Amino acid sequence: MRILALHGSTVSDYRSGREEVLPALPSAVTVGSYDGLHVGHRKIISAVVDQARERHLRSVVVTFKPHPRLVLDKSSSCPVRLLTTLEEKIRHLDSMGVDLLLVVRFDHEFASRSSGSFIREVLVGMLGARQVVVGYDHGFGHDRSGSGATLQTLGAECGFGVDVVGEVLVGGEPVSSTRIRKLLLEAKLEEANACLGAPYPVSGTVVEGRKLGRQIGFPTVNLHPSHPCKLLPARGVYIAKTSIEGREWRAMMNIGIRPTVSSGEDVTVEAHILGWTGDLYGKELSFTLLEYVRDERRFASIGELQSQLEEDKKRVELYP
């Protein structure tokens, strides 16, 4: 999958920053923040890929960096808690067979653009859109004024077709990023993962901790999340997995304040990777959460904590 960045009218390679030429090849295109890349999003993107293959078009996903709400909503430093960082989205999209990902720099100047100018200049002029696929609740452009009806009108004018994909239900309820955030904060990981269509990811850089886990027989990697607004699910212990040096490893992850060994209120993310003994400081790791084991609680002694950790470890070992 080719990944390009768009800032203003300048197109560049997303990784190197080198300016690139973006040929307006006939394309099937979708546009959205796609936070979480849940099953509803996947249905849209699969439709783009399928239509591109059937009609010999290029499949294109247009997304934004940063998330629009982080720019437009100044009510707090994190007005939205992200389900996926851009790197996590890139991994998913690459596995879905997308040809081109265009990452648009979202700022106030871009936000002021009308939906019509965005469609004409970017989707048609830059990308050569012949088919545009969106969700049933899609909105874009200034104040999200662009809708499926807007697309239909402009499609007739600019020469592209429009496909509006209906909502997806899980457990009889519509899937949305808002619903998934709520489920994760309520420790309903199984339902959240069903809505996502994949285990929830937590990625970051391995940093040095206090090495307390090593002292009690459970050495951990301490993870500094990749984005300050990444949503961390409910405090507690999780069964997780990660990939290191091309091999998959099981882990038990704790998200919380470690009340037995710490008096602070800062939430930490740490994982005991079963069988791993190497040095991971400074490395980027991505964990996926498979099962919620238990809530975080204060134990009366270190010995009691160790006993519980042994039980937790057995759960991880027995996970199918």
| Residues 38 and 123 occupy one common structural domain | yes
Give the C-alpha separation, 38 to 175, whole Å.
8
Average pLDDT score over the chain: 92
Claim to verify: residue 18 and residue 99 sit in the same structural domain? yes
Q: Name the residue range of residue 127's domain.
A: 2-170
Using CA of residue 106, residue 12, residue 227, residue 293, what is the dihedral sign? positive
Output the pTM of the full model.
0.92
Low-confidence ranges of the chain (pLDDT < 70): 139-148, 211, 213, 215, 263-264
pLDDT at 151: 87
CATH number of the domain enclosing 59: 3.40.50.620
Q: Look at residue 139 in the predicted model and tell me its pLDDT.
A: 67
Number of domains into which the chain is organized: 2
Whether residue 182 lies inside any domain: the answer is no
- Which pLDDT does position 146 carry in this prediction? 56
- Residue (of 62, 72, 76, 69) closest to 31 by Cα position: 62
CA distance 87 to 74: 24
- The answer to whether residues 33 and 108 belong to one domain is yes
For the beta sheet containing 27-31, the strands, ordered from the edge strand earlier in sequence to the opposite edge, are 10-13, 2-7, 100-105, 58-65, 27-31, 129-135, 161-165
pLDDT, tens only, 284-310 = 999 999 999 999 988 888 899 999 999
Residue 180 lies in a domain: no
pLDDT at residue 137, as a whole number: 81
SS3 state at 42: helix
pLDDT (tens digit per residue) in 67-121: 999 999 989 999 999 999 999 999 999 999 999 999 999 999 998 888 888 999 9
* Separation between Cα atoms, residue 29 and residue 27, nearest integer Å: 6
Answer yes or no: do 120 and 15 share one domain.
yes
